[in-house]
Chain A
């Protein structure tokens, strides 16, 4: 199993550009999450999904959108990138009823200039 994969690993965007961060998992997990980690800070939840077709906002959803058309994929869309979105983005997946089994991807480092 590849676990949770994220692409790209690094990206530099100009202010106002858009992009999609890809996340895929091959563990057949229902639950998927997007977090961001700013320097010196903990991870903050952006969006999450409890199954295909179901998404909900986390703590810091502004400026982002998500979709969950399949169990495997949970892309995060940035529209009109801003410097405040410079961060490291982590995708995670987990089993229903198993908070211990939340697995994280390696992260995408995004810089908005």
Chain B
């Protein structure tokens, strides 16, 4: 049973436009959510996170939105750049879990010049 779902395997956008990556979760115990970025042949790198007490967190071109009632979060990248092309993983954890992460399957973002 997938507790973190990324239903779009891939997304293609034009450079300069907005990229929106979506993530849904089912476990109501999750209270912290993260986005990781992964290039081929490399390990994932942390991008941005959000606590369940917030509904928005912004870091430069990256913004994460959390809708707890819908158990949905999204990552917005504005403006998108070709270097953003990578696989993006949504992950979730809960305070009592020793920071163990539950990952979604990932979304491959391609930003076209």
B4 touches A99 (CB 8 A): no
Other-chain contact of B34, A41, A56, A100 (Cβ < 8 Å) = A100
Question: Distance (Å) between the CB of A47 and the closest chain B CB?
Answer: 10
Dominant SS among interface residues on chain B: loop
A44 touches B100 (CB 8 A): no
Rounded to whole angstroms, the CA-CA distance of A92 and B89 in the bound complex is 15
Contacts of A31 in B (CB 8 A): 98-99
Q: How many residues of chain A are within 8 Å of chain B by beta carbon?
A: 28
Q: Known contacts A104-B44, A107-B43; is A41 also within 8 Å of B105 by CB?
A: yes
Contacts of B42 in A (CB 8 A): 106-107
- Give chain B's interface residue range (CB within 8 Å of chain A): 20 to 34
Interface positions, chain A 1-59, Cβ under 8 Å from B, are 4, 31, 33, 35, 40-45, 48, 50, 56, 58-59
Dominant SS among interface residues on chain A: strand
Contacts of A104 in B (CB 8 A): 36, 43-45
A42 touches B49 (CB 8 A): no
A94 touches B99 (CB 8 A): yes
B100 touches A105 (CB 8 A): no
* Residues of chain A whose beta carbon lies under 8 Å from any beta carbon of chain B: 4, 31, 33, 35, 40-45, 48, 50, 56, 58-59, 90, 92, 94, 98-107
